[in-house]
Amino acid sequence: MEDDTKNEQTAPEQAPQEKPPQPVEAQAPRPARGPRPQDQRRRGGRDRDQGPREFEETVIKIYRCSKVLKGGRRFSFAALVVVGDRNGRVGLGYGKANEVPPSVEKGVSSAKKSMHSISLVGGTIPHETIGRFGAAKVFMKPASPGTGIIAGASVKAIVEAAGIRNILTKSFGSNNPKNLAKAALNGLLSLRTREQVAKLRGVTIE
């Protein structure tokens, strides 16, 4: 009798284990994630479908400054950068940072914020001009096709970014790269075509 009572007591405990498992078909299938719409961008970073860059970047000069502290020297860097689309738009920027790459990025950002439109005629400038900044002075003269860019490093970077292919230049006074680049940009901003001059004066040029 004792054995029968033990079997009766253990039977209910084993009953739940003998229940068949729930069939897989009863569970609703998880919907598959569809493709991401094109108008949604990834959070952070650039879009993978981004096209080629609109502007070209040129570093004119990297400056290094050292500061003597108790633990040793601490270096900082500055970058003079020119940005242009080689089609009449150019900008000059200057950025500072503790490393070279961040200083270049700051210079590029500064240059893009100060873009200027330059008047060009057939790959050269429409007339002679003189640009001035500080103690630097840059003389620019139109050149015939095939001449190329006759200029120093700082001035050449500015005129190439603007899209000029033939030009004659001569610098006077200070040879500081900053002053020369700003003087060249000042000279390019003073250029006017025949149509622009006629419109400003309200006359017709035959």
| pLDDT tens for each residue of 5-54 | 444 444 445 445 555 555 545 455 555 555 554 444 444 444 433 334 57
Distance CA 13, CA 138 (A): 100
What is the model's pTM? 0.69
| Nearest alpha-carbon partner for 143 in 118, 165, 172, 117 | 165
Distance CA 137, CA 131 (A): 6
pLDDT confidence of residue 30: 58
Under the banding of pLDDT at 50, 70 and 90, the label for residue 83 is very high
What whole-number percentage of the chain has pLDDT above 70? 74
Per-residue pLDDT tens over the stretch 177-198: 999 999 999 999 999 988 888 8
| Nearest alpha-carbon partner for 119 in 169, 181, 193, 197 | 193
The CATH number of the structural domain formed by 56-116 is 3.30.160.20
Start and end residues for every CATH 3.30.160.20 domain found in the chain: 56-116
pLDDT confidence of residue 195: 86
Per-residue pLDDT tens over the stretch 106-147: 999 999 999 999 999 988 999 999 999 999 999 999 999 999
- pLDDT over threshold 90, residue 2: no
Query: What sign results for the dihedral spanned by CA atoms 189, 91, 142, 174?
Result: positive
Q: What is the DSSP annotation of 154-183?
A: HHHHHHHHHT--SEEEEEEE---HHHHHHH
The CATH number of the structural domain formed by 117-193 is 3.30.230.10
Start and end residues for every CATH 3.30.230.10 domain found in the chain: 117-193
Asked if 82 and 161 touch (Cβ cutoff 8 Å), the reply is: yes
What residue type is assigned to position 34 of the chain? Answer: G
pLDDT confidence of residue 71: 85
| Nearest alpha-carbon partner for 138 in 112, 196, 177, 111 | 177
pLDDT confidence of residue 43: 42
